[in-house]
Structure 1
Amino acid sequence: MTPQEWTLVVLLFAAVGCGVLGLLEALATRKFLKQLNKQIKPLYREDAYVSHSLFDKLAAKFNKSEYGKEIEVTLKASNLRLTPFQWILIYVTTWLVLSYLALLLLGVTFPYQFLLAYLVLKLSVKKWFESRQSKLAQAVNQQLPEVCRLMGSSIRAGLSIQQSIEMVAKEMKKPVGDLYQVMASELKMGTALQVVLERMNERVNSKDVHLMNHTIIIQQRTGGQLSQALDHLAKTLEERERINQELKNNTTEARYIALTLSLMPVFIIMIFNMVFQGFLMPLFTLPGLILLAVVLLLIGAGLLLIRNVANIKV
Structure 2
Amino acid sequence: MSALLIAGAAACAIWALHYYLLLSNERKKAHDKLNDWMYKGLEKSSWSDSLADRVDGTEWAKKMRVKLDQASLDLKPSDYGSFLAMGLIGMIFIMNMMVGIESILVCVLISIVTVPVGSTAFLRSRQHIYAQRLDNQLSEACRLLSSAARAGLSIPQGLQLVVQEMPSPIKVELGRVVREIELGKDLEESVRDLQQRVNTNDIQVFANALIIQRRAGGDLARVMSEMASTMEERKIIHQTIRAVTAQARTSAYALPAISILIALMLSKMIDGFWELMSSLPGMIILGVFGLLQVLGVVLVKKFSQIRV
> Which TM bucket (shorter chain)?
0.7 to 0.9
Letter in 2 for 1:169: V
Partner residue of 2:66 out of 73, 91, 98: 73
Aligned match of 2:52 in 52, 56, 59? 59
Aligned to 1:290: 284
Deviates more, 1:200-209 or 1:48-57: 48-57
Q: 1:213 to 1:52 in 2, by over 3 A?
A: farther
Matching residue of 1:132: 126
The alpha carbon displacement at 1:249 in A equals 0.7
The structure-2 alpha-carbon separation of the partners of 1:49 and 1:124, relative to structure 1 and needing over 3 Å to count, comes to farther
Offset of 1:175 from its aligned partner? 1.0
Give the distance between the partners of 1:187 and 1:286, measured in 2 at CA.
60
Alpha-carbon separation, structure 1, partners of 2:42 and 2:218: 47
Distance 1:71 1:203 in 2: 13
Q: Cα gap change, 1:313/1:50 in structure 2, threshold over 3 Å: closer, same or farther?
A: farther
State whether structure 2 residue 235 is matched by structure 1 residue 238. Answer: no
Aligned partner letter, 1:87: Y
User: 1 CA distance for matches of 2:184 and 2:166?
Assistant: 23
Pick the structure with greater CA Rg: 2
Distance verdict in 2 for CA 1:126–1:195, change over 3 Å: same
Which residue, 244, 253, 268 being the options, matches 1:250? Answer: 244
Match of 1:205 in 2: 199
1:215 aligns with 2:209: yes
Deviation at 1:228, TM superposition (A): 1.4
Counterpart of 2:78, as a letter, is F
Does the 8 A contact of 2:105 with 2:278 survive in 1? Answer: no
Q: Deviations over 1:45-96 (max 9, x none)?
A: xxx9975412334333433444323212111111111111111111101111
Instruction: Report deviation, 1:277.
Output: 4.7
Alignment partner for residue 294 of structure 2, among 297, 300, 304?
300
* Same amino acid, percent of matched pairs: 28
Name the stretch that deviates more: 244-253 or 201-210. Answer: 201-210
In structure 2, do the counterparts of structure 1 residues 53 and 205 end up closer, same or farther at CA, with 3 Å as the change threshold? same
For residues 234-279 of structure 1, what are the alpha-carbon distances to aligned partners after superposition, in whole Å with 9 as ceiling and x for unaligned?
Answer: 1111111110000001111111122111111111222332454531
TM-score between both structures, scaled by the size of structure 1: 0.79
Cα distance change of structure 1 residues 263 and 310 upon mapping to structure 2, 3 Å threshold: same
Contact 2:267–2:274, Cα closer than 8 Å, also in 1: yes
**Which amino acid is the alignment partner of residue 58 of structure 1?**
L
| AA matched with 2:145 | M
Listed as ranges, the gaps of 5+ residues in structure 2 are 1-39
Q: Which SS does the other structure have where 2:245 is aligned?
A: helix
Partner in structure 2 of residue 109 of structure 1: 103
4+ runs of 1 displaced by more than 6 Å?
none
Distance (Å, rounded) in 2 between the aligned partners of 1:167 and 1:69: 33
| Aligned residue number for residue 85 of structure 1 | 78
Contact 1:187–1:196, Cα closer than 8 Å, also in 2 = yes
From 114, 117, 138, give the equivalent of 1:144. Answer: 138
* Separation in structure 1 between the aligned mates of residue 180 and residue 43 of structure 2, nearest angstrom: 27
Indicate whether 1:189 and 2:221 are aligned: no
CA distance in 2, matches of 1:50, 1:156: 52
Work out the CA distance in 1 between the residues paired with 2:273 and 2:132. 44
Residue 111 of structure 1: SS of its match in structure 2? helix
The Cα of 1:106 is off from its aligned counterpart by: 4.1
Please say if residues 56 and 62 of structure 2, whose CA atoms lie closer than 8 Å, have aligned partners that are also in contact. yes
The whole-number CA distance in structure 2 between the counterparts of 1:130 and 1:58 is 27
